[in-house]
Amino acid sequence: MDLVDVFLSQVRDPFRIGLMIALVLTMQRTRGATGTWVPLAAGVLFVAVIIPMTLARPEAGGMTVAIGVGLLSNAVLLAVILGILALWQRLRGRA
């Protein structure tokens, strides 16, 4: 697998998508106490590390490549989820 295949497989992973959605929902609920960007950054890093560490098979290039590409794929997923959330809030009149 080359890097593009690893990236595409991570972006399409339903478990990773679910974790990122849960991260955004948790951030929304705790925004007053913890802020916005620090919990999101910590969550992106946590998901990028925990998924490759728990897989039985290493991806192309080993753990560091899987974690690095995971950071990128998590950032892309987070941007899409935050964009959808902003659109949803604008359509509902909460912007």
Q: What pLDDT is stored for residue 26 in this prediction?
A: 93
- Cβ–Cβ < 8 Å for 19, 42: no
Q: Which among 46, 63, 44 is positioned nearest to 55, based on CA atoms? A: 63
pLDDT of residue 20: 96
Residues 40-85 have pLDDT tens digits of 999 999 999 998 888 766 656 788 888 999 999 999 999 999 999 9
Position 95 pLDDT exceeds 60 = no
In angstroms, the Cα distances linking 14 to 21, 29, 92 are: 10, 23, 27
For the question of whether the overall pTM of this predicted structure is more than 0.85, the answer is: yes
Q: Is the pLDDT of residue 25 over 90?
A: yes
pLDDT of residue 58: 60
pLDDT for 2 equals: 83
Question: Taking all residues of the chain, what is their mean pLDDT, rounded to a whole number?
Answer: 89
